[in-house]
Amino acid sequence: MNVLLINPPVREEVPPVIFPLGVAYLVTCLKRAKHNPVVVDIDGNRFNYNEALKIIKKHLEKNNIEAICTGGLVTVYKYCKRLTNDIRKINPNVPIIIGGSLASSTPELVLEKIKPNYIVFGEGEIPLTNLINCLEKKIEPKDVKGIGFKENNKITFTPKEEPLNEEFLNNLLPDWDEFPIEKYIKYPNTDCGTKKSMGVTSMRGCPFRCKYCYHIFEKTRMRSPESLVNEINILKRKYSVEHIIFSDDLFTVSRKRVEKLCELIVKQKLNVTWSCCSRVNLVDLDLLKKMKKAGCILIGYGFESGSQKILDLMGKRAKVEEGEKAIEMTRKAGISIRGAFMIGFPGETKETFEETIQFCLRNNLTTYFSFTDPYPGTEIFYSCEIEKKMDLEKFVENIGEQVTLRVNLTDLPDKELLEMCDKGEKKIAKAGVIQNFPLNILLFPFFVLGIKKYATAITQSKQLGFGMFLKLNIYYLNYKIKMVLSKFF
C-alpha cells in the first residue's frame, strides 16, 4: 500500500537539526510489512506551507497514495488541522491518520476538531502497521489495538497496544534514507559545533514522574550497548557522522549499561563525540570520567529550579545540593553542562525564583528560563483544571516555545512574573559576560534578534572554543536574517 508520511515543521526560526527519528522508525516498520512509504519532510526541507501543499497534491495525483499519516508534538496541532482540511479539498476520500504525542495527549480534541479518519496513540510502530494492513485488505480495523476513530458521532478507542520489547527495539533502525539527512547533519549546532551530528534513541520511557512532563511511553525499556554501537558504526560509515546526540530523557538511568557502552566505544575506537541528558542524582565522578573517556562532551541536566520547595512541588525527587554536586563532578570530569530551568510552576514566588537565580550565579550557569506550560496529559494540566479555565482548542493552538508566557499558574500578576524572568535572565547574563568574557560578547546579536535560547545554549558549550563561538554566532545570525527577509520577498 502506498502511504504518505508527512513530517510537519517545528522551530522554524532555526535550521532543522532535530532528525525525526519517530517517523523514520515508522518508515522502517511499514517497509518490513511490504508497504511503500513515501515521505514529505516539510521540517527538514523547510518548505513553506504552499510549497508543501503543492508537493502533497502532486503525490496524491501521481503516486496513487492510499493513506496519509502525520502528527508529532502537540505544538503542531494548528498546522495539522489546516493541512488536513486542505488535503480533504484535494482528495476527500484518502484516509488520514494522526499520531505522535499530539494524538496521544489530546485524542478527543484531535478526532473532534481535526477530524482525521483515525488516530494512533502510544507507540505507533505496531498499531500503524496493523491499521495500514487492514486498510489495504479493506477490513474494518476495530480489532487493531492503539487506535481511535469516530463512527456515527461516537468516539471509539481500542485497547492500548503492548509496549515494544527490548529485543524489538534492539533490531529497529530508523530509515534515514527517506529523509534529506544531509540537511540535518550539516548544520552547526550547540552540542558539537560544525561536526556532522545525528540523534540516536537509546531507550524509551522514564521511570520518574515529574508533574510537568508528558510521557507517551509508559514503560521504561533500554536498548543494548551492542545495538547502539552498531547504529553508531552505520551512521559513521554511511553519512560520516562525527557526533551522536542521545535523544533520551534520561540516558544514565542504568549505570551498568552506560559503562558497557563506554567500554565498547573505547574498545572499538569509534572516535566520535557525543552528548546526552541525565539526572543530577544519577551520576558520579567515576561514571562521568568513563563517559568523558568515551567521547562525551556535554550533558544536559534538568535542574528546573534552585528552590527545594519548588522541586518538591514538581515531584522531581531531587535535592538542590545534588544539583550542585553534579555540576562540580561533571566539570571535574571535563564535560560541559547545559542546564534547563523553568519559572512559573504553581507555588512559585519572588523568593523561590531568587533562590534559582542564586543557584545559577553560585554555579556559573548561563541560562534562560522556560515558562511552565501545562501540556495536555501532564499532572499539572489536570490539577490546574485547564479545560475548565479556557477553551482547550485555543490553548493547544497557542502552545509553542516556552520562552513565551501563555498561562500564569502562579499567584503573581502576569506583569510581575514577566519582569522577574527578564531581570533574572539579565542578572545571570551580566554575570556570565563578566565570568566568560570575551566569548559571551559574541552572542549580542542573538539577544537583539530574540534567539536567547540558542545564545545561552552556545554559552553553555564552552568546550567549542572561541573560533566555534564566532562561527555559530555568524551562522545563526545569517539564518535568522534570511528567515526575516523571506517573509517580505
pLDDT tens-digit series, residues 21-73: 999 999 999 999 999 999 999 999 999 999 999 999 999 999 899 999 999 99
Say if residues 461 and 191 touch (Cβ distance below 8 Å). yes
Closest CA to 275 of 4, 17, 8, 10: 17
Residue 237: Cβ-neighbour burial (10 angstroms; 0-12, 13-18, 19+): exposed
Please report, for residues 260, 315, 461, the alpha-carbon distance to residue 477 in angstroms, rounded to integers and kept in the order given: 41, 38, 18
**Domains of the chain in sequence order:** 2-157 (3.40.50.2300), 188-484 (3.80.30.20)
| Average pLDDT along the chain | 89
Say if residues 469 and 475 touch (Cβ distance below 8 Å). no
Say if residues 371 and 342 touch (Cβ distance below 8 Å). yes
Q: Residue 319 in 3-state DSSP?
A: coil
Say if residues 42 and 10 touch (Cβ distance below 8 Å). no
SS (H, E, C) 370-419: EECCCCCCCHHHHHCCHHHHCCHHHHHHCCCCCCCCCCCCCCCCHHHHHH
Residue 459 has what pLDDT? 46
Residue 190 has what pLDDT? 66
Residue 439 has what pLDDT? 47
Q: Which of 8-12, 122-126, 396-400, 471-475 has the lowest mean pLDDT?
A: 471-475
What single DSSP character describes residue 159? P
C-alpha radius of gyration, the chain, whole number:
23
Task: Give this prediction's pTM.
Answer: 0.89
